Amino acid sequence: MSILRAMEKYNHENLVFGQDRESGLKAIIAIHDTTLGPALGGTRMWAYTSEEEAVWDVLRLARAMTYKAAVAGLDLGGGKAVIISDPGKAKSEELLRAYGRFVDTLKGKYITAADVGICQQDIDIISQETSCAVGRNPSQGGSGDPSPYTALGVFHGMKAIAKIVFGSERLAGKRVAVQGVGQVGYHLCSLLAEEGAELAITDLNRTLVEKAVRAYHAAAVLPEDIFAVQCDIFAPCALGAVINDRTVPELNCRVIAGGANNVLAEEYHGEELLKRGIYYVPDYVLNAGGLINVAEELYGYNRQRVIEKVARIYDTVTEVFQISKREGIPPSQAADRLAEKRLARRKSWWTGQGVSKVG
């Protein structure tokens, strides 16, 4: 499919290329939809093997951000950017500054943040060239590490699904298997342990496993055994695509609810889980806490407000499962409907005001 045809199919507004010969910058910014507000999404720095691969990735990621922001109730659109280079080799202050100037040319239509290959220190440099960068150092009014808020959102969402499936939102005594005890997974374990949940954990990193076992009396299992652990809730907090043809038959849980992005390898795995009576809470609904946290920087960061907004993930999860039940569709589709409903409502409001939005 041609690029413009793909943009038309998924209704992307813009795809902007930027380069700077001196610093070696080669970047692409995709803006999917700004109906709800300026497009916010991280910048990924990655050694893509081709420009084509980078283009498809940025288009896909930008669209996902539209849905995530819409479902989270944020007045933000969806966008994403990629810098085509190996972050370990090519990152320099000149390149990041050139990138900041590139972002600035979009005059606020796109706001950037950290993603794979771009950290908070990089954002601090980028933000010297543009005010359209969030996720800065807390000492400069930034929102800092988003992972505690991502974990908090997952925790609230788990409570909502527990109420639906087990009849009570209390997680005390529930067995939760956590895959990956990195930034998000570790914070999630802390919240679950405090509530009295029983934990089974795994990670490729032994030091992290030992730390979680010591801190939360968690039972450690081997990475390949985590799917088959008998538990109430399986919480994927490592990589994407972990629910796939191989792992679905192994699952021994009633609920899947975790912080990882793109948990389902393919959309049909959502239907597969539904058939097996496993409740899958859509990842982008659950893990929006980090986005909510970073977005607060735009209004003057207020931690208390972040905590309140993140707590609303409970209601969103409840609504997603109401739609899923009412319409007989997998929760992943129900979440998309919820996002699309919010976008349509805002679009009809624009139309009612006699304003047509130009992308």
Which of 259, 282, 330, 331 touches ligand NAD by CB under 6 A? 259
153: contact with ligand NAD by CB under 6 A: no
330: Cβ contacts below 8 Å, ≥ 6 apart: 270, 271, 273, 274, 280, 324
Span 272-311, contacts to ligand NAD by CB under 6 A: 287, 290
At residue 2, what are phi and psi to the nearest 5 degrees? -75, 160
Residues making up the chain, counted from first to last: 359
250: Cβ contacts below 8 Å, ≥ 6 apart: 227, 228
Minimal CB distance to ligand NAD: which residue?
182
Supply the DSSP symbol for 138. G
Interface characters, 204-243, with ligand NAD (x: CB under 6 A):
xx--x--------------x-------------xxxx---
Interacting stretch for ligand NAD, rule CB under 6 A, among 92-100, 134-142, 163-171, 178-186?
A: 178-186
Of 68, 80, 91, 109, the catalytic one is: 80
Strand partners, 201: 178, 220
Q: Give the three-class secondary structure for 250.
A: helix
Cα(349)–Cα(339) distance, integer angstroms: 16
Q: Tell me whether residue 171 or residue 263 sits nearer to ligand NAD (CB atom).
A: 263
Q: Tell me whether residue 126 or residue 310 sits nearer to ligand NAD (CB atom).
A: 310
**CA-CA-CA-CA dihedral for 262, 264, 266, 270, to nearest 10:** -130
Residue type, 268: Y
Our answer to whether residue 109 is catalytic in this structure is no
Cα(148)–Cα(87) distance, integer angstroms: 25
Q: Tell me whether residue 18 or residue 185 sits nearer to ligand NAD (CB atom).
A: 185
Interacting stretch for ligand NAD, rule CB under 6 A, among 86-94, 103-111, 257-265, 312-320?
A: 257-265
247: contact with ligand NAD by CB under 6 A: no
Interface with ligand NAD (CB under 6 A): 146-147, 150, 179-180, 182-185, 202-205, 208, 223, 237-240, 259-261, 287, 290
Which positions are catalytic?
80
